[in-house]
Structure 1
């Protein structure tokens, strides 16, 4: 029996597990066994079962023949999600370009450059003192892109991009960037921010397009490798 004001266990496990899935704290190829999750969250299997059912309804958990697993987009779906990401992010900068053709004052008013400056400083620090690869780095990358999109003056675009990231994050956490890839990522982020702050959204748009294209190539390659490993693991079990 739940006391007044007390969060039900199923609700608490649901939010904790959802957060862990979103942060990449749970390996995407790991089966979500009720007994193990009950041990992790310190509850019985019943609230875990309730939470998994809700997460499956949310589309963040999917059922395979041998149980429940974190959702992972298929190759075609992943490619489509990156296409949507390209549309959303380029539209943010295109809005600024459209305004600049009408009125430079409107462009300045519509584009909030303060968060862009903050992100530039953040990524210069990450370039000079690279962090260990992990979910925090993925989160920092996503924050850069959603911040830039929100700064362009349409919060709905940034919200839509966040929803895309929720869907692609399980793949991104399968194979975290190497130090070389991290250096390239930081350099491209810095270039985009510097170009925006220098008043050259056209150059920023070109750099952004190349950056997202590169990210899509890496994500699809990671997904393809994960699919091959999954098939191999299932064949060995069978």
Structure 2
């Protein structure tokens, strides 16, 4: 007797994956040239070389820096994300900070730098304290002739203290918040009494950190930032 062949069960197969047509391509790594262009333009904006409302023409910048338009375009997009430039009528212009924006930036800076000074007073290594102490002659002089030098060195001086906090994320946040093209303009407007007060604050900050008086360092850093904001609002608006 002939037996019917056994019917095998149909095998379920996983459906083939559809090609991810809508998936975003992985981000391209930033090229070294793009990084160089970005930081060059960022420094020129924050130093006031490129002034607020100045037009930024990609072709002109590419020719000046000896690069193609691609790294310039990538840099513009990053600077826009930083809040340093704006797209206006299909062209780029340097952003002009409003009074309210400056107040908010300095309120953030006040909190960040005060806490960094507190941590520096607790965590600074002997080598870092030596570096911080080494800034005293340049950052505490009262002679108006040092103003330009002070303006150039100010960020490096404060970074030495902020780095001594031992918190790289905090240091990066402070540096990212540093968007102030008006610092250089302000330095030229200090009166002798205002320069002396700023110098005393620098002196007190160095002393507090080096003495590991964390709370005094935090208070002095806060007072110093508040004093800077007071001058900006009074002299530039």
TM-score range, shorter chain: 0.5 to 0.7
**Are residue 30 (structure 1) and residue 43 (structure 2) matched?**
no
- In the alignment, the residues of structure 2 paired with residue 132 and residue 211 of structure 1 have an alpha-carbon distance, to the nearest angstrom, of 17
Deviates more, 1:195-204 or 1:29-38: 29-38
Return the match for 2:42 from 18, 22, 39.
Answer: 18
2:181 aligned residue? 170
What are the within-5 Å matches in structure 2 for residues 55-74 of structure 1? 55-64=79-88, 67-74=91-98
Which structure 2 residue ranges, 5 or more long, are not aligned? 1-30
What are the within-5 Å matches in structure 2 for residues 1-238 of structure 1? 13-34=37-58, 36-38=60-62, 40-42=64-66, 48=72, 51-64=75-88, 67-95=91-119, 107=122, 110-128=123-141, 130-131=145-146, 133=148, 137-165=150-178, 167=179, 169-178=180-189, 180=192, 181-224=194-237
Q: Are the aligned partners of 2:119 and 2:164 in contact in 1 as well (CA < 8 Å)?
A: no
Q: Are the aligned partners of 2:35 and 2:75 in contact in 1 as well (CA < 8 Å)?
A: yes
Deviation at 1:189, TM superposition (A): 1.1
Deviation at 1:19, TM superposition (A): 3.9
Deviation at 1:182, TM superposition (A): 4.1
TM-score (norm 2): 0.66
Aligned residue pairs total 203
C-alpha distance after superposition, 1:103-140 (max 9, x if no partner)? xxxx4xx232532432332231354575452xx64452
- In the alignment, the residues of structure 1 paired with residue 57 and residue 81 of structure 2 have an alpha-carbon distance, to the nearest angstrom, of 17
Aligned-residue CA RMSD in angstroms?
A: 3.5
C-alpha distance after superposition, 1:176-219 (max 9, x if no partner)? 34463444333321221012223433333332222111011123
**1:56–1:154 CA distance, 2 compared to 1 (3 A):** closer
Please identify which structure carries the higher helix content.
Answer: 1
Deviation at 1:157, TM superposition (A): 1.4
Deviates more, 1:207-216 or 1:175-184: 175-184
Deviation at 1:154, TM superposition (A): 1.9
TM-score (norm 1): 0.66
- In the alignment, the residues of structure 2 paired with residue 213 and residue 11 of structure 1 have an alpha-carbon distance, to the nearest angstrom, of 33
Q: Are the aligned partners of 1:127 and 1:187 in contact in 2 as well (CA < 8 Å)?
A: yes
SS in 2 for 1:152: coil
